[in-house]
Chains A and B, each alone.
Chain A
Amino acid sequence: MDLSAINPLVLITTLMIAATPILLAALGELVVEKSGVLNLGVEGMMITGAICGFAIAVETGNPAIGMLAAMVGGAMLSLIFAFLTQILLANQVATGLALTLFGLGLSSLLGQGYVGVKPPSTPKIEIPLLADLPIVGPVLFQHDMVVYFSIFMVVVIWATLKYSRLGLVLRAVGESHDAAHALGYKVVRIRIMAIMFGGAMAGLGGAYLSLVRVPQWVDGMTAGAGWIALAIVVFASWRAGRVLLGAYLFGGVTILQLNLQAAGVNLPVEYLSMSPYLITILVLVIMSAKGGRAALGAPAALGRVFHASS
């Protein structure tokens, strides 16, 4: 075993890359849940985004167009969820599961011609001046645009939820849809917009996996990332800043176990590979042991069906 081969600076850089897909998906789901909707289809939207982004990036040769296509793909898929749960008032848990099962099948169908294909590489953007700083520069300021975008979105979502009128309305809908409805807000319309935003973010997260993190197309490649994103929203107590913390913590565990595998730690590879899932469960337990949903900060109307005329 040679632990000295693990370079902490490289570790932080790769950690940010590993965390970005989950961060994006979890941020999207945060907004969806803040509006009072529980979408368990994150995994399905991520994998659909992964193949949409991959296919379009390969066909056009432009990863940026691929990423946009992934957002559209994720949002389109989430629209099915929105229609079923908001218009036809279907059960959100079951519909979210259906979205995941369908997304896994659909992506594998779409991805048949893309197995083993190499995607165009996504350029790194060095931020002028900051990138030249010693140590900090290469670690924090020499990433691709999606990493910057994900951090930018943490700030945007935090500020929007906390300070803007839009955020206030969204939270009102999520806390008490009947009160929001009585005040004249279009509950269903707001929720559908939130669901589509969540779909787009999950789609982008998926595309980041297939275009940058891996980078190739493999069936079922999200391997539970969508579910971990859902868990991170709970861990974060529905706060944007803590979502960042949770995602990077998870990214750290993933990268560390990969490095330990490479360093040849005396533990079977399979046990190292299951560690991210076990740690996610552990974190969930610690968070939920603190108290009920209210103590955690969950939106009060989360998962409840809204029917205006009742």
Chain B
Amino acid sequence: MIHLEKRAEPSKTWTAFTPVLAVILTMIAGGLMFAALGKDPFEALRTIFYDPLFSEQFSAYSRPQLLVKAGPLILIAIGLSLGFRAGIWNIGAEGQYIIGAICGAAVGLALYPSQSWLIYPVMILAGAFGGWAWAMIPAILKTRFNTNEILVSLLLVYVAEQLLASMALSTLRNPEGNGFPGSRNLSQHWATSNPELISGTGMHIGVLFGFIAVIMAYIMLNKHMLGFQIRLTGESPRAAQFAGVNPTRLILICLGTSGALAGLAGLFEVSGPAGQVSIDFNVGYGFTAIIVAFLGRLHPVGILLAGLLMALTYIGGELAQFMLGLPGASIQAFQGMLLFFLLGVDVLTNFRIRIGHGGKK
């Protein structure tokens, strides 16, 4: 008989190794899925994980895309990881991302066609504010009325999507757009654009913010009182209570930070890679970032690596779609599978597996 024995504390080795194991298992299961779709599994996996980085034909285009896609994922995931550590579940980052983009873009569009260099910083502030404000709805409902933040933050994603449609179709629509939906192109106007900082790398201001967020989160979690309180609340809510942690404050800070970071990610996307406010400029980064946060073990450095890996699956997925005719949805299923395997193998971190009856009471 196999049974589980709880470890006194999580295994350090397994904490580092389980994400790798999960990725390997996902590749095996994903290979089987690709084989079931009638594709050569080895070729598919090579196209997704190897070709975007190393193939001569594609890497010139794909490599910069890595940072473009990883930037928003990392930025959002860092914010989410703070709350997840403390047991505060913001799963509506997609909505905060949309509202951040709308608010930031609205500022830029209102000041069009001014060329002042001050516009972009104000847009950044507006983007962060939009995401923060949207996240404050579940935060205040949680602290004031004890309403479940999971459901509220998620339902607000659908509200944000409708709001986005309304903005793209009427309020923020390009007056010179010949009646097409969507706003003016922000990335083609100097004062409102988020350009590539170093040509050919994909590095833009948002990616820079992502890296800064990683460093800040690392310092905060390890050196700051707030980081300690977050970790303590996650590991033992009762101990946190005795240590004088104010749960209301923690909820407001965790949800607020994750909302502001998601809003920033939205603004950088809409003024850079996406270029304009359109009905479907959002591609689900807010949800994928949840996987990134877990794959990175809620650790800033882990999230950095996980964000890059997840970005690779996006780019490789597009490449596989183009080269092998692999359906785009299979990548989404692949990413979901990764989270399953990750959560599954996590058992090794917290439990020892015992075979036989030894140790059973």
Contacts and interface: CB of A to CB of B under 8 A. Distances in A.
Interface of A: 40, 80, 83-84, 88-91, 93-95, 97-98, 101-106, 108-109, 112, 219, 223-224, 227-228, 230-231, 234, 268, 270-271, 273-274, 277-278, 280-281, 284-285, 288-289, 291-292, 307, 309-310
B235 interface: no
A224 B148 contact: no
Given A80-B340, A109-B332, A280-B151, 13 more contacts: A84-B344, A89-B4, A89-B347, A90-B343, A93-B150, A101-B335, A108-B329, A109-B37, A109-B333, A224-B157, A227-B154, A228-B155, A284-B141
A231 B155 CA distance: 10
Interface stretch (B53-61, B99-107, B162-170): B162-170
A285 B170 contact: no
Contact of A268 (B170, B340, B350): B170
Contact of B3 (A227, A277, A278, A309): A309
B223 interface: no
Max chain B Cβ within 10 angstroms of own Cβ: one of A94, A234, A273, A307 = A94
Interface of B is mostly: helix
A277 B5 contact: no
Interface of B: 3-6, 37, 89, 91, 141, 145-148, 150-152, 154-159, 162-163, 165-166, 169-170, 287, 290-291, 294, 327, 329-337, 339-340, 343-344, 346-347, 350-351, 360-361
A292 B336 CA distance: 33
Nearest to B343: A90
A277 B155 contact: yes
Contact of B291 (A101, A230, A280): A101
Nearest to B348: A88
Contacts of B141: 281, 284-285, 288
A92 B119 CA distance: 44
Contacts of B327: 108-109, 112
Nearest to A268: B166
B336 to A, nearest CB: 3
B336 A224 contact: no
Contact of A288 (B147, B330, B347, B350): B147
A90 B351 CA distance: 11
A134 B61 CA distance: 69
A94 B290 CA distance: 9
B166 A310 contact: no
Given A101-B335, A105-B335, A281 B155 contact: yes
B26 to A, nearest CB: 11
B329 A112 contact: yes
Contact of B333 (A106, A223, A278, A285): A106
Q: Which 8 A-B pairs have the closest CB atoms?
A: A102-B336, A105-B332, A105-B333, A108-B329, A270-B166, A98-B339, A274-B162, A90-B343
A307 B6 contact: yes
